[in-house]
Structure 1
Amino acid sequence: MGGLFQSFPDAETERAFLRAERLERGQAIRALIVIAIATLISYIILNPMHFPREGVIAYTQAAGAFIVAMLGFFFLTRTQIYLEKPWLDLPVFVVMAAAMKWLALVLAGLHPYTGFPPHVMAMVQMAIIVIFASVGFAGTFRLFLLWAIVLLGLFGLWIMTLPGITDISRVYTLTNFSTFFVFALYFNWDVDRRARKVFAANAALEAERAKTEELLYNVLPQEVAARLRAGEAVADSFSDLTAIFVDLAGFSTIAKRLSPGHLVKMLNTFFSAADRCAERHGIEKVKTIGDAYLAVIGGMASHGQDSKAAILFARDLVADLAAIAAETGLPLQARIGIHTGPAVGGVIGSSRLAYDYWGDTMNIASRLQGVAPLGGAAVSEATYFQTRTIQDYERQSAVLKGIGETNVYVTVFTGTPDPAEEA
């Protein structure tokens, strides 16, 4: 991006920069146009006090043409075509340079009244258009350089062939105009350079922000993250939430057989399988607790329809664990507890934020997991009535801690899920 002719290596990035820069620069261009038009109108009003009728008419015609050209540029900067077609800068300023030349020649002809030599008056007017162009060429330094070189050449040719002035006047006039020329070029180039740096920095910042948001959305639902940003307290009530509590059976025994690194790898395999099954059935993962996996359906970020998805999730996970056990030789089996009922969800604390759920529904699911068979699930009566059409259960009586004796419905998953049932 360095050097005289600056550009981004990626064509799409370059187009995005030009669009953004021209949108931003448009406001400054329009402000300059308003100032220039106001100045010309003030001269048109004052001229009859100082110039003869022929001079007033000539100046008004030339100034009017220049005003029309600038008004055209003013409205062009508000269009999509101006943002999308940077090459428009060149024809626009060719027209404006022609209009300014007309005005400069008119003023040069009025030198008996202004007291300025013709070549000096022309130099001032052309210097003004060069300075204006240094702002007007937005992100198009190459085109500005081409336009300015041609203008300098034409002005130099006019000065060198203008009769009635000394050689020293020609040299100084051309030198002074060249100074404006160089300053304007440097200004346009430096503005372009700085704008590109700001654009690149903002793009990098936006990329980092996107990464941060992606990480945030892996922890919190997007809606919850937006509420936290707005300073809201996040607390929600759910009347029909299904909690799924999965525990890896015999974990302590397995842990004694494995090295710490191998143990972490095994746990990652288990949790990754659970994540894939959860995504497949629209289940919302809440958190992992040691070797246990907690998920819900019907919560803030769930996509499944009802507790039937919880059973399909449990089937898939048991099948995946059986495949992993056959591959690794480790006795990986799960006990799963599922209960449907009311719960409260929200975010508490100020660091390491996570959306969590509380209530008896979560506790009951945890207790049901404790009485579930290996490779199967224990569900509450509420979940049973919602899922009995897709799964066979055996009713049992069990004593759940903190709840007492209650009916539970247990099942052992065999084989793989029936695609027709999932549909």
Structure 2
Amino acid sequence: MTKGGSAVPFRFDDKEAEQAYVVHERTQRIPATRFLCAIAVATLITYIGFNPMHFPRDGVIEYNIAAGLMIAVLGATFAATYTRFYVERPWVDIIIFSVLAVPMVMLLEALAAQADITGISRFGMAIVQLGILVVFASVGFVASLRNFLIWAAALVTLYLIFLLEADRSIVSKVYTFTNFTTFLTFATFVNWDIDRRARKTWEANRALEAERAKVEEMLHNVLPQDVAERLRKGEAVADSFADVSVIFVDIVGFSQLAKALSPGRLVKMLNEIFLLADEAAEKHCVEKVKTIGDAYLAVAGGHGSGDSGASCAIRFGCELIDLIGRYADRTKIDVQVRVGIHTGPVVGGVIGQQRLAYDYWGDTMNIASRIEGIAHPGGIAVSESVYYGANEEVDFSEPELATLKGVGEVKIYRVIMPE
């Protein structure tokens, strides 16, 4: 059996996949295995109580010894299903059923000795007992048809030796062997079909899980994990944040760059710059919100931010400006960015059902955008609220009064970029 199909029977080519299937299937089939053991024990106990009413004392003792040994083996098998060893090593089934064959032969001999009472000859009893054993094994061998076939081949060999040494006519031997192999063929088919179906189901579920994981990864790339969970539950996602640092990044002179570069080269440059921004955002625990044309919007202190606050936002801005400078030196493209940051209350949430994204709204977003517009190329301008949140960790220039469109006169500070 291959990773993507079932061209070869018995097992998967991938060893890790095979082991994972074995552990899964044997774990799933444990209740059925325990039930089989319990049914077999109950049947033996019933006969132990029934036989004294019909068998002579010696016959009862002989049967009870064999039945007691078989009950012990079945009990040990029942107990083994609680161990990791049983789950991880399917070859243990060969040992279990080889040991079970011993008390089964003892039961056969005990019952054959009572042929006058039961009306079943030794040969007939052999077919019955061994038939029960192979049918039981067809279900008891879990997640390994190959092991079942190895055990069955050994059993057939021993049975052939038994027949060849028996004082019976050739016709009797042929019919007896045919009857036994009919049981065995049926048991083999049952074991094969159960394993075949289980492997197909497991492989389909594994492929489904892989696709689900891809969808989860894609979803978490556009939505914070807790937001994705809430959407799955059918909840409306709307949150209020009292203190979020909003970061606007804009490419300086983008219109001129658009005229100078071919469309393909321009898109490639934007992609490379935004990838650098994503790298810096991940490093400084900043949450990317979206790109708007040639602008990059992010927040510190929102849903996806492990760290939060003005200092985190400024570290992101400094890192990005440095990365863009290196990019410009490497590509010989005269590209710079400017960064504007403002801290204040925002509302966040998800709107609509298509192309889902967690977005933020509020005056804080608008003010941050306006501040970005007055930042110097390769520089960071911040509001007074950002200054008070980061002045113990970051060096700023003296405050300036600036009139922002739609906002009015505000006090701004410029980050003194590290050397």
TM-score, reference length from structure 2: 0.93
Structure 1: distance between partners of 2:69 and 2:136: 17
Amino acid of the structure 1 residue aligned with 2:273 = F
Structure 2: distance between partners of 1:330 and 1:154: 83
Q: Does residue 229 of the first structure (1) align with residue 229 of the second (2)?
A: no
Structure 1: distance between partners of 2:68 and 2:147: 26
Q: In the alignment, which of 97, 116, 127 is matched to residue 131 of structure 2?
A: 127
Match of 2:157 in 1: 153
Q: In the alignment, which of 37, 44, 49 is matched to residue 40 of structure 1?
A: 44
CA deviation map 1:327-360 (0-9, x unaligned):
3343312221101112222222111111111222
CA deviation map 1:32-53 (0-9, x unaligned):
2222222222222222332223
Indicate if the aligned counterparts of 1:375 and 1:412 stay in contact, CA closer than 8 A. no
Structure 2: distance between partners of 1:67 and 1:322: 79
**1:411–1:23 CA distance, 2 compared to 1 (3 A):** closer
Give matches, 1:4-403, under 5 Å.
Answer: 6-163=10-167, 165-389=168-392, 390-403=394-407
Structure 1: runs of 5+ lacking an equivalent: 419-423
Amino acid of the structure 1 residue aligned with 2:357 = A
Structure 2: distance between partners of 1:215 and 1:141: 39
**1:26–1:244 CA distance, 2 compared to 1 (3 A):** same
**1:286–1:339 CA distance, 2 compared to 1 (3 A):** same
Structure 2: runs of 5+ lacking an equivalent: none
**1:361–1:3 CA distance, 2 compared to 1 (3 A):** closer
Which SS does the other structure have where 1:31 is aligned? helix
Runs of 4+, deviation exceeding 4 Å: 2-5
Q: CA deviation at 1:294?
A: 0.5
The size of the alignment, in residue pairs, is: 414
**1:411–1:33 CA distance, 2 compared to 1 (3 A):** closer
**Percentage of identical aligned residues:** 53
Q: CA deviation at 1:319?
A: 2.2
Match of 1:421 in 2: none
Q: CA deviation at 1:244?
A: 0.4
Which SS does the other structure have where 2:91 is aligned? helix
Structure 1: distance between partners of 2:343 and 2:120: 93
**1:3–1:268 CA distance, 2 compared to 1 (3 A):** closer
Indicate if the aligned counterparts of 1:5 and 1:142 stay in contact, CA closer than 8 A. no
Amino acid of the structure 2 residue aligned with 1:253 = Q
Structure 1: distance between partners of 2:162 and 2:380: 95
Structure 1: distance between partners of 2:46 and 2:8: 40
Structure 2: distance between partners of 1:327 and 1:5: 55
Structure 1: distance between partners of 2:8 and 2:273: 57
Indicate if the aligned counterparts of 2:302 and 2:308 stay in contact, CA closer than 8 A. no
